[in-house]
Amino acid sequence: MTQERINDFAQATDDFQWIHLDQKRAEAESPYGKTIAHGFLTLSLVHYLAGMVNADKPPIPGAQRLINYGLNKVRLP
């Protein structure tokens, strides 16, 4: 995940929370020591990330496809 992608997402969604954008403050104050991606940015990449799964070690052996049928149980604590 690049900072540029995080910045672009912030522009698209008007979510300018410092923990996503302010690298110096995040280094000093964030428990992660750096900026973090927006939760919805991460969710929007689920399809892309699923494609990065090693075909030799599938998360669900025998599955032929993954279908996103909703986000009603997603929590971003």
Residue 69 has pLDDT above 80, yes or no: no
Q: Where are the domains of the chain?
A: 3-38
Question: What's the confidence (pLDDT) of residue 62?
Answer: 76
Side chain identity at residue 32, one-letter code: Y
The tokens describing 17, both together, are 């929370």
**Tokens representing 6?**
């995080």
Indicate the pTM of the whole model.
0.73
Q: What is the pLDDT of residues 9-63, one digit of tens each?
A: 999 999 999 999 999 999 999 999 999 999 999 988 887 777 777 767 776 777 7
- For position 57, what pLDDT does the model report? 73
